[in-house]
Amino acid sequence: MTFADPEIEFRYLSLRNLFRRADVFHIHWPEVLVRGTNRAETAVRSWVVRAALRLMRWRGTAIVRTLHNLTPHEPGTALEGRLLTRLDDLTDLFVTINPVTKAPHGPTVQIPHGHYRDRFASLTHRSPTPGRLTYAGMIRPYKGVEQLLSAFGSIEDPAASLHLVGRPTDALREAIENAAAGDSRIYASFGFVPDAELVDEITSASLVVLPYEEMHNSGMLLVALSLSRPVLVPDTPTTRALSTEVGPGWVHRFTGVLDSEILEQALTASSIHPTRPPQLEDRDWTVVAARYGAAFRQASGWSV
């Protein structure tokens, strides 16, 4: 952890570390801890996490939770829901990553998610291909990919193209393959996307399109902006705030149902390159690390 506070010892989560004494337990995606491949595994995981939480409370370990989404994208079991509610009740400090998120209760600090400029700096960056739209990331029903395929299919420009890269569900893979079979302008690459391929695809795009049905936070949106590529996203309170933060010309927003007219207008707008790169200084990792160090001290009662 290059930028981490040197006075803090960090241990990555493991079953052993879950039960080791710590001053602070910091968690981002609690559902990952408890969600198994079946109900029996989920029950076992839930029991383990509940036991660990009891031990933490007995030892005086402070719990810090970073809130990425208001609810998990894909719903879990009732048992999982009860455990997540219990975790929220025990949390000493919530961290929000945008000015819109409301914590369930208690003390809250805002620490923006860090940018990806340093991570991708050594990789090859391409020049944007005119007319190319790119979607990258996990391909799930709530991310609006089928609507994107429909909207792109109504664009008549033979020079336009659509690239989709990421890991889909079986149903969405079939839908994308069927669309690509009928339209040579559509390209798809399925599976895990290594950094080099991701940077190649994003920087080759004229516009990155993320037509999620609901967008609260998005790592891929931040990836695109870190690589200085404009994005088209739903108009939500968080995307409005991000547009103000990064400056004009980078975050294009749409309301209602995505259609070909919206795509074409966004492509035209994205061809006018902003005079300044996205303003992401507040997301520098040295800044983020310092703020998290202060948050851990606040939660645990250490002197700042």
Alpha carbons 276 and 283: distance in angstroms, whole number: 16
239-268 pLDDT, tens per residue?
Answer: 999 999 999 999 999 999 999 999 999 999
pLDDT-based confidence at 215, cuts 50/70/90?
confident
Helix (H, G, I), strand (E, B) or coil at 137: coil
Amino acid identity for residue 30 in this structure = P
pTM of the full structure:
0.89
Q: What CATH architecture applies to the domain 117-279?
A: 3-Layer(aba) Sandwich (3.40)
Q: In Å, how far are 18, 26, 130, 218 from 207, measured between CA atoms?
A: 42, 35, 9, 16
CB 231 within 8 A of CB 134: no
Both tokens of 280, joined, read 């992401």
List of E strands, the chain: 24-27, 62-67, 93-96, 108-110, 132-136, 161-166, 186-190, 207-209, 231-234, 251-254
Domain with CATH 3.40.50.2000 in the chain: 117-279
Tens of pLDDT along 121-154? 999 999 999 999 999 999 998 899 999 999 999 9
For residue 291 the two structure tokens come to 């703020």
With vertex at residue 70, the alpha carbon angle to CA 137 and CA 285, rounded to the nearest 5 degrees, is 60
CA dist., res. 96 & res. 110, Å (int): 5
What confidence tens digit (pLDDT) does each residue in 167-196 have?
999 999 999 999 999 999 999 999 999 999
Tell me the residue type at 103. Answer: A
Candidate from 67-76, 121-130, 198-207, 227-236 with smallest mean pLDDT = 67-76
